[in-house]
Structure 1
């Protein structure tokens, strides 16, 4: 039997989550475990195929795409073990598909609705790709943005962690557990609603001039930047930081402080280009949408 270790399982989950949905992942993993490690027959495979399931080819292209997603999302290195695990899951998925088709699941309303949604999404994405034309980002814009960012940097930078909770009661619970000796990263994984929760609340290095000013905090909410700048290394906010009148609330920890390290323009320009290009695409999409709306009849 082919058994998957924990790191391979995590990578496989990342590779298939966009295809099968997270609720199916345990089934795929168990199905892969149940498959034989080697084919029962040694017949030669068709060109471009890595397996054949009841006459249906599973292609090298499919496997390469699954590997690409696993490497990108799970940070799992490409390896023969990963490829074997993903191949087994592709085989399991094809077995599920064939039997579902034979059982008439293709005609179920839920499936038809999902097919229509997938078709609409694909049509929309391709249409926008062909018709939304953002302005190119110039070298002068890159340098201007680089200079703007550098001008906002302070003398030191912080390596923070954050726990974001929806209400004051939860914030009080988290603070009490921190005072009792619970680890910040474990509480972040348990309670935080921020995207950084799975990483134990860890955020990237950040620098800003102090005292912190609105719009000059590298994207951080001003109350968070103000609280962060007052903490020593290892320090945790004694009270939750309110991010709005009725929440959410943030609890901060500073893991490290160091002199600000300013990357050279050549090191930073590609990242800046991606950010500016994304903004240009948003602007072009908004303008394109407004143009379509002018000639449409829309009732709300």
Structure 2
């Protein structure tokens, strides 16, 4: 396997092994509906409960494995589907954790960010610029970054001995991404929160999929990550973000296409359609 991150803006070409649950027989429709109900905590309205069931049915119809977490930050309701704890490569999504870490370390005086550093933070959030992320990773501690990521919610994350310990080779879960986004939205100082929300709402067109599929009325923001498996052509497609007034809902989606043709487009469609089913037309 190749073990080198591609230094291409917005694309991380990786080889990897996805950790997935053993294959299981798909339950009958009535049983599937009951499972979705069991995965939801109280606090979702009837309309969103219907949409969640439809999103899960769609996810099950798609190639591969897709994990989803939706959180209502107002009521505390959470939907975690059966793959929410499944590990896969984080690809470019850990760049958001890097930005959190750099802003907080600058506050504490542990580092002093320059104007150039802030430009690089913008690039890795806006267009998922790999060169910007790698420069900051090497400049401000390398693997040491990841020792603080659990403090921002990424308690499932880990490196492997088979791959370099760098931002693109972090195994993580939808649960991790949900906690990371809620750390950004609920625990950061207001100035940092507002900055990151603004960045994620104004991403480059190459990031306008996944959670972005909620549509303009939902005022979405997201950080996406994607990578191809050079061995078989399948893709990992990740999207974490927020939708709604005052960023009411957080959404985390990780999908491994497990297909050998057009994996990028398949995964992009899967993650975007899930968000559309959940939230397009929900906000009026």
**Where on the TM-score scale, by shorter chain, does this alignment land: which range?**
under 0.3
Higher helix share: 1
Larger radius of gyration: 1
Flag the structure with more relative contact order, 1 or 2, with Cα contacts below 8 A and sequence separation at least 6.
Answer: 2
